[in-house]
Structure 1
Amino acid sequence: MHRRIIVQTNMDPLTDYSEVYQRLPLKVYLAYGMGHVLNDVCASMWFTYLLVFLHLVLDFTNAQAGALLLIGQVADALATPFVGYYSDQGDDFFICRYGKRKIWHLLGTICVILTFPFIFAPCVGCEDASKWSRMIYYSMFIVIFQFGWAAVQISHLSLIPEISPNEHDRTKLTAIRYAFTVLANVLVYVVTWAVLHLAGNDNNKINWTDAPKFQHIVWGVMSFGAVCSFLFHFLIKEHEQQNGYHDVRGTKVRTDLKELFTDVQVYQVAINYMCSRLFINLTQVFITLYLHEALDMVASSLAVVPLTMYLASLVTSFVVGQINRAAGRKITYTFGAMLGLAACIFIHFGKGKLYTDYLIYLVAALLGSASSIVLVSSLGVTTDLIGTRTNSGAFVYGIMSFTDKLSNGVVVEVIQGLHKDEKNTWFYRDILTYVCGASVILGVAAVMFVKRPLSVSESRRGLLIESDDTGDALN
């Protein structure tokens, strides 16, 4: 397998260079995928069950529960560009012999392990305190947890362009990352169902007596995530991978902040990424509340229906790379968006016993497949934007994540603040229909305006990396 690099400058004629490019071994794919599992199980608990836990178990109001989620999203949003910038500058620190990406990953992992269990537990020593005092208590753990989560996410994402220059290898790394994300979510829902089933909660609704059960779930899934993080740090050697990707002059392309912020494509890709994450996260956040309030389904359904979503995501993640290769990112993203819109339409009109017994699982499968296709395609567009700018990769991911986290937190808080009438049982149905549907439509509009498959730095320098697999990265 060979890689051909074509370089054209203003002074020199077109010149061909050939060098051997070894495709990544399976061990690297698997080890890389494991590096985000701890974050994934925590994110699954955070987005699927945080509002349920805070409102139904700890008795916070909808607005207070939404405010705590917003605090976490704002903390995450502020942390991501900070982590991204200093991760990119990591060359100057002696400790980064361990790896300028991996050291942030390790720091974040420690923060997550030490704080997340306290978020899904009754207030230690302050059970009888006022709700505002308890909100301050939970806010402290949430802020530290979100900083750690952001450090792991950004450092892990920024390893993709470091590991390989090949467009399709990068898509595969993104796909394997998402496949492990899906497996982590499946684990969370299986463990949740098992805990509720063994506790005899199959036919009951969630209430304050379920607090210990959430602790069992959290410790169970986090133990698995911690083991995966250890294997990631043991198997991935950052410096060995970084040595494989340079331009023909032997140095990686750097990008200054002025160039980055004056590139219109950065904003287009950020809007696409933000809308994609809004669709995915809002469906995950509100599907359980929709099942609980609108459809009046029992506790076990709060695990089984999300599990169906992620099983469909898992199946789709195995083929989304091939779909991207055959159709390009734009067409693939649009196809995923159409599946998501179909699910939103089903939700709007769905009611009755036939729907709650059977068709709700079809809706869950459509949502899961759409989420897989939309996210992998959106991340692929982001890696295309980074191109050879690997020394700015973490900051670019930080910008994308900033828009994602801040918008998610604000939207969830606004939605929860608007839900003041407990008798309006169809509130979350309308949220899933209109807000999620609008998000994915806007995501399609944004990706359609992304015209160039190369980054600004590559365009200015005339650098084009080709592989044996041909095809436009975006069209």
Structure 2
Amino acid sequence: MCDERSSLTPNGPSINTAPVTDDSVTIVQQSSRHALPWYQRLGYSVGHVQNDLCSAMWFSYLLVFMVSVLQFTHQSAGVLLLIGQVADAMSTPIVGIECDRSLDWVICKYGRRKTWHLLGTVCVLLSFPLIFNICIGCSNSHDYAKMIYYSSFIIIFQFGWASVQISHLSLIPDLTPISCERIELNAFRYAFTVASNIFVYAITWFLLRANFSKSFDITNQSPASSQSTIGPDNLNDFRNTALVVIVVGGIFSILFHLLVRERKVQSNHTINSSIEDGITNIDYSCPSNHLKWRHWFRVPQFYKIGILYMATRLTINLTQVYTPFYLQYNLFLNKESIAYIPLVMYLSGFKSSFFIKFLNQKAGRKMTYLIGCLLSLAAFSWIYLGHGATFKQYEIYGVAVLIGLSGTTMLITSLGITNDLIGHNTSSGAFVFGAMSFLDKLSNGIAVMLIQLHHPCSKQTCAGCCDYYRQVLTFVCGGSTVLGILMLITLIPNKIGEISASASSAQNNRNNSNRKLCAAKEANGEECSCSDSDSAPLLRPSDKSD
């Protein structure tokens, strides 16, 4: 049963309401029925596919491509990935603030979130194919010149990626006020994320296998030794995969823009929604009841959940980055393994994503996240202890399944926790997601750079340092999971979205003063300017945050 209280009612004919009066806003009781029609839920679900396709290649194959195909040093490849992560980290809060801003430009009438989504989509389409390709016009230049070339396109790509990510995430609180429907949208979104990763790995597997077949030595009936691992001969495979990714991602982005209708922000702060039983007017006595972006820095849970989300993304992304190296240089599997082992991970994650909503409703957000963390720790412990032919041939698939299950559970639930933190404060929701993503991107870039700097080999990985990637997966990724558990423990005493009683009382006093001032001004025929107040408004708790 999805029973939520909300200060926003989206347009739609399938909401039953019973008014509940608060001292500052009329709150609408939502039923278990969907606020969004099916086609908008579908349209939203595919709106991040282009980002997901590119992200799968970025994290899984960028270092492999730079080191093994283009022959960059491990340190240079780490610098390129760091540049991309820093560019993404710097872009996310800026995009978050601007995405929350209501402008009167003609293009912004298309929708403030969808406008940024469209801008980001164009940037990604133009830049991403040039990253997984040779340095056009500078293939024989010095590595420094090549790094400048690739860095420029990486920065454009990461700005576009951040614009799509933040605008898409911040649409959820705007589209529906129902908490379990928000979780459902996150689950569907992640299901397509997993499907996108599956698609990328399937295409890569197909292209690598086709290349492997062409290189098969018919006279000796054995593959050439140079084809057993990724090398410069696989340039066309990665380039063709990037082109397929861009075409397919562009099609899904078009579907998103055609199907999703963004609710327009009304300047009079009164939302009139047509619903099944008539017209419901939700009148905000003062718009400062919603947190502005600067007020979030006064909320302790903002920092705790930010670190929790960062730990989640560190676990997932670093696993994605270093699994191909682990398979190639620690387990010495063939080059196709960098496609079919991650494929197993995401297939298991795809199946589990449809049960996350049920698990969140029955066990609660915090317990669900803990279950995901325990599965993650079990997988990394298995990696550390696993060895021998049996592990390489059979047990590695069990590890892949555990990683897929844990990653899905942790990510969907952490996004649900973030949505609960935002609650009714949808006017600054994009900034919250931008700040979370800032920590995520910056920490990922720094972590990869440190791992690459401490790599015992300069360029190609040698047999003497093959155990390095096993240690990275075990201790770095496992340590990130432990960090997520520690942050979860700090959230146990309070509901997600609650602030301390003293802070709440002080904020209520400020709001009451604002309302009295507004009433006095309106009595004298003056315009109320409480929206410019610097007071920190009340942060309302979510009803189902545990």
Q: Is 1:81 the equivalent of 2:93?
A: yes
Rounded to whole Å, the distance in 2 between the matches of 1:196 and 1:208 is 13
User: What is the aligned counterpart of 2:283 among 249, 256, 264?
Assistant: 249
Paired residues of 2:293 and 2:432 also in contact (CA < 8 A) = no
Please state whether the residue corresponding to 1:101 is helix, strand or coil. Answer: helix
> Quick one: which of 454, 472, 497 aligns to 1:454?
497
Map residues 256-335 of structure 1 onto 2, 5 A cutoff.
Answer: 256-335=292-371
2:216 is matched with none
> Is the CA contact 2:111–2:264 (under 8 Å) kept in the aligned structure 1?
no
Aligned to 2:152: 140
The aligned counterpart of 2:23 is 9
- Deviation string 1:171-205 (CA, Å, 9 cap, x unpaired) is 00111110000000000000001111122269721
Deviations 1:425-464 (A, max 9, x none): 1101001001111111111221232222335599656786
Using the alignment, how far apart are the partners of 2:442 and 2:490 within structure 1? 23
Q: Deviations over 1:256-294 (max 9, x none)?
A: 344210110100010000000000000000000111111
Does the 8 A contact of 1:117 with 1:218 survive in 2? yes
- C-alpha spacing 1:270/1:123, structure 2 compared with 1 (3 Å): same
Higher helix share: 1
CA distance in 1, matches of 2:23, 2:183: 29
Q: How many angstroms apart in 2 are the aligned matches of 1:144 and 1:26?
A: 34
Letter in 2 for 1:55: V
Measure, in 2, the Cα distance between the counterparts of 1:442 and 1:244: 44
CA contact (8 A) 2:291 2:539 kept: no
1:469 match:
none
Correspondence for 2:545: 474
Contact 1:191 1:221 in 2 (8 A): no
Determine helix, strand or coil for the equivalent of 1:248.
strand
Say whether the 8 Å CA contact 2:175–2:263 is kept in structure 1.
no
Q: 1:232 aligns with which of 244, 256, 270?
A: 256
Residues 73, 244 of structure 1: alpha-carbon distance in 2 compared, 3 angstrom cutoff: farther
Larger RCO, structures 1/2 (Cα 8 Å, 6+ apart): 1
Residue 150 of structure 1 corresponds to 162
- Displacement of 1:16 in angstroms is 7.7
Please list the CA deviations of residues 184-235 of structure 1 after superposition, one character each: whole Å capped at 9, or x if unmatched: 0000000001111122269721100110111111111221111000000011
Unaligned runs of 5+ in 2: 1-14, 214-222, 274-279, 509-537
Instruction: Provide Cα deviations, 1:321-377, integer angstroms capped at 9, x if missing partner.
Output: 110111111000000000000000010011111111111111011001100000001
Q: 2:111 aligns with which of 99, 106, 127?
A: 99
Equivalent residue in structure 2 for 1:438, among 479, 482, 492: 479
Contact 1:196–1:213 under 8 Å retained in 2: yes
SS of corresponding position for 1:165: coil
Letter of the 1:449 partner, please give it: T
User: 1:52-131, aligned counterparts within 5 Å?
Assistant: 52-131=64-143
**Contact in 2 for aligned 1:36/1:152 (Cα 8 Å):** yes
Contact kept, 8 Å, 2:132 with 2:242, in 1: the verdict is yes
1:428 equivalenced with 2:469 (yes/no): yes
**Segments ≥4 residues shifted beyond 4 Å:** 15-22, 240-247, 250-253, 455-466
Q: How much does 1:244 deviate?
A: 8.1
The alignment of Structure 1 onto Structure 2 pairs a total of residues equal to 467
Match of 1:213 in 2: 237
* Whole-Å separation in 2 of the counterparts to 1:277 and 1:244: 39
Residue 8 (structure 1) shift: 3.4
SS at match of 1:90: coil
Structure 2 counterpart of 1:381: 417
State, as a whole percentage, how many aligned pairs show the same letter. 44
* Partner of residue 352, structure 1: 388
Is residue 272–residue 446 contact of structure 1 (8 Å, CA) maintained in 2?
yes
Give per-residue Cα distances to partners, 1:43-98, cap 9 Å, x unaligned: 00000000000000000011110110000000000000000001111344332110
CA shift for structure 1 position 101? 0.2
Unaligned runs of 5+ in 1: 467-471
CA distance in 2 between partners of 1:359 and 1:29 (Å): 38
305-314 vs 247-256, which moves further: 247-256
Q: Distance in 2 between matches of 1:345 and 1:453?
A: 31
Instruction: Give, in whole Å, the separation in 2 of the partners of 1:463 and 1:136.
Output: 45
User: Normalising by structure 2, what TM-score?
Assistant: 0.81
Helix, strand or coil for the counterpart of 1:344?
Answer: helix
- Work out whether 1:366 is the aligned partner of 2:437: no
Deviation at 1:30, TM superposition (A): 1.1
TM-score, scaled to structure 1: 0.93
Name which of 193, 199, 207 aligns with 1:187: 199
| Distance across 1 between alignment mates of 2:238 and 2:260 | 33
Q: 1:419 aligns with which of 455, 460, 467?
A: 455
- Matched-pair contact (CA < 8 Å) for 2:46–2:255: yes
Match of 1:410 in 2: 446
